[in-house]
Structure formats: C-alpha cells, structure tokens
Amino acid sequence: MNTSSRDFAEHHMHTVLARLAGPGAMPRADQLDAVHAVLQPASRVLVVQATGWGKSAVYWAATHAIRSTGAGPTLVVSPLLALMRDQVSAAERAGLKAATVNSTNIEDWDEVFERLDQDAIDVLLVSPERLGNPRFAARLGALLAKVGLIVIDEAHCISDWGFDFRPDYQRLARALLSTPTASVLATTATANQRVTQDIGKQLGESTLTFRGTLARTSLTLSVVPGLSPLERYAWMAGALEQLPGSGIVYVLTVAEAERLTAFLRSCGHAVEAYTGQTDADTRLQVEERLRHNQVKAVVATSALGMGYDKPDLGFCVHVGSPATPVAYYQQVGRAGRAVAHAEGVLLPSDADERIWDYFATASIPDAGTAAKVLRSLESQARSLLDIEADTGTRRGRLEALLKILAVEGVVDKEGAAWRATGLPYVHDSAKWTALAQVRQQEAGIMRQYAQGQGCLMAYLQTALDDPAPAPCGRCSVCTGALPFPGLAPTPDKLLAARDFLRGMDVEIEPRKRWPAGVSRKGGIRGFEAGRAVAFADDPGWVHELQALRRHARSAGDGLAHDQALGADTSPIPEALLAGALATLGRWSKSWPARPVCVVPLPAQHMAANLHLAAHIARKGRLPLHEVFSWQGGTAPDDTASTPVVAHLEQSIVLSPDAQLPAGPVLLVGIDARTRWTATVAAALLRERGADQVLLLVLHLQA
C-alpha cells in the first residue's frame, strides 16, 4: 500500500470525523481502508456495514480529499427525501457545500445547475426518478464528465434480489456506471451474500468489498407472540409509557398507521403518523419533531426508514412483521445507534402474511402481461391510462412492469407517453422464478424469527450472511424474558381500543372519471359520499370480518370486486348490524337531507345485501326499494378498471318499472373493493332521477 496516498486518505478522514463527531473521534480501520480504496483512479468499492457504522463518513472524507485536488463534485444517488435532507445537513457539517435535485424543489433546479457550472457545489444529491425527467437527463452527460466520485447509497435498491428493489434506481445506476473516469462507491447496511454479489457484478469485476459484522450490541431484540390485533393496540398503549426515549412504531399499511396513531393519541400519547401518502412539508415537520424528542413516537410505514438520522432513537416496535429479515434489520437498526441501550420489539400477527404475499408478487413481471403491453405499444406511443385500458392490467402492476421494461431497454418514456424502442423483450423465467422462491424463503425466515427459534440477533446476522454470527445474550430468546413482563393487555385497555376503533369513520372516496373503453364517458355522476363500518383488516372488527369471510368461502362467492356476500342463510353478525346503524348516526349529522329510501347494492347474489338493507330500512323507518337485478357472471378479478366496468355495465340491470321517491337514496351493501359496482349502480339511479346517492357498506377492502 502506498504510504503517502494512505496518509492523504487518513488526513482527510480525521478532518471530516473531527467536524462530524468531535476532535477526539478516531476512524475505524475499515473506514480508512475504504476511503483509501475510493481515492484510487476509477475505483469500484462496495461497503456493507451495520447501520450507525459510519458509511456516510467514508464518502464525505473521500469527497473532501477529491475536491482538495481540484477534481469535480461528488454525485450521491439517494432513494428517499428524508435521507437526502439528512445527508445535505451531514455534508455541510463535514465542511462540504451540498445541494439536492428532487421532486420537491423543482423551482431551485436552475440555481443548483448554475452553481454546478460554477464549480461551487461539492456534493449533489439526486433521487433515482430524476433520470426520467428531461431537464435532468439532458444534463446528465455533462455532469458525468466532470464528477470525481459517484455514490450509490442504499445500494441494495439496485439489486433484483434486494428487499427494496427499485427499477428506477437500477436504471440510473447503470447510466452512472458508464462513466470511465469517476470512482464509484456503493453503500448499504442490508445486503446478504446474494445481494452483495449482484451489486458487485453491476459495479464491475474489480469491485473491492468491505463487509463487517452486523451485530448491534446496543440493541435488545424481543418478540411478543400470540397477541390478537386488538391486543397489539392495547399493548402499544401501555408500552409507550415504559419504552425509553422516543422512537418509531412500524406498521405494514397506510391504514394501520392512521388507525394506530389515532388510537394512541386518544390514550394521551404524543404520536404522529408518517406514510407514503404524507405530503413533503408534513414529513419534514414530523421528522424534525421526532429528532428533537417533541413526540414519543412516529407511527410509520416503510416510508420512514433508510437513512433517517436520529442516533439517540430509543426504540423501534413493529406492529406486524416485515416480509424479509433484511427489511426488518434495516428498520429496527434505526434504534440504538448512539445510546447504550435501545429496544427492538416485534409484535407479529397471522394477518401479516396476506400483506407479504401481495408485495412479494407485485415486483415480479408476468411474461404474458409484458407481451400484451408491448403489443399495445407496437404501432404508437400511449399514455399509462391508454395502456391500462388496452391491456386490462391494474395500475400499480402496470407501472411496476413498465419500469422493469424500461430497465431492460425495451420501452422508454416521452413526456407522458410510453413507447416501444424496438428491442425485443426476453423474459428471464429462471431469474424471476428463483426470485419468487427467494421471497418465499425469506418469509419462512421471518416466520421462524417471530416464533423465537434461536437468538434473535444471531438469527438476523445469519439471514444476512454475516461473517461472524453469535448469540447476543440480551434478546428475549437468550434471556427468556419479554420486555415489560407486567405489560399484559388489560380488559379496560382492550375495551377502550375496540370502542375507539369501532367509533372511527371510514370514508369511501367516490370515483371521479369513467375509464377509457366503456360506454359512459368523462366525469361521473355517481354516489356523492360513502361510509364503511370497517376497513381492511380492521382490529376493531376482527372476529366479525372473519365470520363474513368464512361465510363467503362457504357460499363460494368470495369477497372480491364489490360482490356482496351472497347467502340465503347465516345472518350478518349482530355487532356489524349495530355498527352500521352507529355509522349512519354519526354520518347523518353532516347530511343536507335525510335519505328517502334504502336500495340494496346489486350483486351476483343479493340475499346478504337485501338482509342488510332491510334491517336499515326497518330501523330507520324508510321504504326499501329492490330495483336492481344481476345478469351474467362474476366481474373479472385482479384487472384494470375498463374490463371491470364493461362487465358491470352488462351485468347490473335497473328495473324499467323502478319508481324512486324524490330525494337522496341510501345505497347499501356488505362490502366494496374497487367501488365500481357502487359507482355503476349509483350512476343508473342518478340517470333515473335520484337527486343524490349515499353509499354505506360494512367492509371496505384494501
């Protein structure tokens, strides 16, 4: 090793560490080695180290050194806005001038580009989606010609095998790796051997990898098994009174984040929600409140994860288990980075696996669907809406597929339209089958982790191919002790949780426009407002919703695509009937006028909808009008809106003799998912002269 070049790396490493952590801070051996490796011409370096190890210090020190030689700025690719905000702040503390180009600061781009042209920026941070923006893409070539270092942070996102694979990220990484002169540094805390090898392969054969142990001595891991969904809420209400400091409570869905936040607030806890649907300004406010300990906890989905920098985070609780050990380690690793003790607690549930199954398949392309999409683009470029209507592919899966096809180079985007490039698509069946099998294996590992089959820290280390897994001696398996042993959910907390959740209003958003390719066009005159008693896997209605599902299975009807329960026997649980009346009671306070009649929602099997509508009509002393019939089979499953609506327009029949009284109509059914059945039915009622249509269902499915 060249002594002078190592001394050069060491000088800049010490300079940056002193600014970041104080004058007495000493670099880890691997940190210094990694900086030295990055400073070699056109190097390729991968750093896989635990959260809190100091990976960012490596690229700040390398940037500091490179800029001192007169070389160009560092380009950092970062996957999350929260992460970019923290990185800008950290770079400035390290003595570097940093700026960012992302979707929230478009008005600042010209100024940033001008500063780049003047060589007045040391670090530019960009999000992976910027490659799809013409303004940024037009500048990418010139930018790559001048940068001295490219950093791909959270590099597991560029691997198909990673738990958080993002096609946009891989696509941008490929473009950046084409530079022949700049060094490239990839960093992650969450990569097993398979992911590490895949990243190394993408970086190039000469990649030098620095991999350390992933054990976290400050983190005490625990699993609290056997809690029902309602018991988990009650447990959390008590745990926040005892957990150290402030922390994050992770959940699997947006709905769960909003529900749990509302309940914990009702118990007097200072908590905030943070999800992918939280707007940018609110996200920033929540991050800052947590960073300054102004809240006890943030209840978050995975939107708050990679790179969020709060070293003194005291706990991380998961109400529901992530699908992979890598995802779990990445999230729980936010806690205990700069404190002597932090808690990482998992509250698993049997319901978790339904969510795992959805996300496991969403990122894996289907060969038949890919072929349909490419046929749709053979003759002309099309918008996303047109492709959806033409292929019958649901929006979320279509967007994911188009990104994968773009990575493969067979499609690209021109403004709002997608076009085929003419390159053939070769579906790698072996690769995608293997990936699906890996996802199943990872789910099995999390299942075993939740069952406590061995030291929890060592289990995560082994799952991530840590070179030195060992029992931690601290976790609930090693000690045989659960956190806060006296914290059994009490009857009063369980009752409070149930009553609170059953008192929440679930709004049903009306559809706004008809999809392309159906008989109706433009804006929709359908139901104007809607309410549901329960949403998704609602903890307040677990047993009652299970009864509905059991009955649906026995009836062979399936609760799918707004098809009502459809049974001639087995009445609706009394609690749900009472819940429907309570929901109407709360909702009626905002009605401009009381409904004049009740109409059962059309379905292939009408009995359950009729039972519910008759109950509400009787209790509300309103006339019941059975005006709909159903002809044809079940609406298409797991498909886009166009074929669903086209089928419903043929299947739902409004009696030609139907006479409705003047005034609002209350349309009532057991369940809804896509909302298209209710939308088509309400449109028919409005066309027949109904002044207004209000929708009530027992269960709004996710």
Q: Which sign, positive or negative, has the C-alpha torsion 488, 493, 499, 502?
A: negative
User: Which H or E run contains 630?
Assistant: strand 628-630
d(CA 377, CA 419): 6
Please state the rounded mean pLDDT for residues 301-311: 77
Indicate the pTM of the whole model. 0.78
* pLDDT: which is higher, 691 or 431: 691
The lowest-confidence range among 8-17, 312-321, 407-416 is: 407-416
- Predicted pLDDT at 284: 86
Q: What is the pLDDT of residue 559?
A: 41
**27 vs 80, residue with greater confidence:** 27
pLDDT band at 360 (very low <50, low <70, confident <90, very high): low
Q: What percent of the chain has pLDDT over 70?
A: 93
Give the best-scoring range by mean pLDDT among 20-34, 69-83, 485-499, 512-526. 512-526
Q: What is the pLDDT of residue 565?
A: 39
The pLDDT score that the predictor gives to residue 555 is: 53
Amino acid 560: pLDDT: 39
Encoded amino acid at 225, one letter: P
- Looking at residue 453, what is its pLDDT? 83
Give the confidence band of 202 by pLDDT, cuts at 50, 70, 90: confident
Average pLDDT over residues 262-278: 95
The band of 568, judged by pLDDT with boundaries at 50, 70 and 90, is: very low
Mean pLDDT of the residues in the chain = 87
Cβ atoms of 244 and 297 closer than 8 Å: no
The predicted pLDDT at position 349 comes to 83
**Hey, what are 137's tokens?**
């893409």
Q: How confident is residue 84, by pLDDT bands cut at 50, 70 and 90?
A: confident
CB 179 within 8 A of CB 16: no
Q: Domains plus CATH for the chain? A: 3-211 (3.40.50.300), 219-352+453-500 (3.40.50.300), 366-426 (1.10.10.10), 505-700 (3.40.50.2020)
Considering only 215-224, 549-558, 688-697, which range has the smallest mean pLDDT? 549-558
Q: What is the pLDDT of residue 466?
A: 84
Higher-pLDDT residue of 442, 623? 623
Q: Which long-range contacts (CB under 8 A, 24 or more apart) does 139-142 make?
A: 139/113, 140/175
pLDDT at 563: 41
Q: How many CB atoms lie within 10 A of CB 293?
A: 14
pLDDT of 570 strictly over 60: no
Q: Which positions ≥6 away from 641 have C-beta within 8 Å? A: 388, 389, 515, 674, 676
| CB contact at 8 A, 559 and 586 | no
Looking at residues 583-595, what average pLDDT do you find?
Answer: 95
Q: What is the C-alpha to C-alpha distance for residues 587 and 281, in angstroms, rounded to an integer?
A: 31
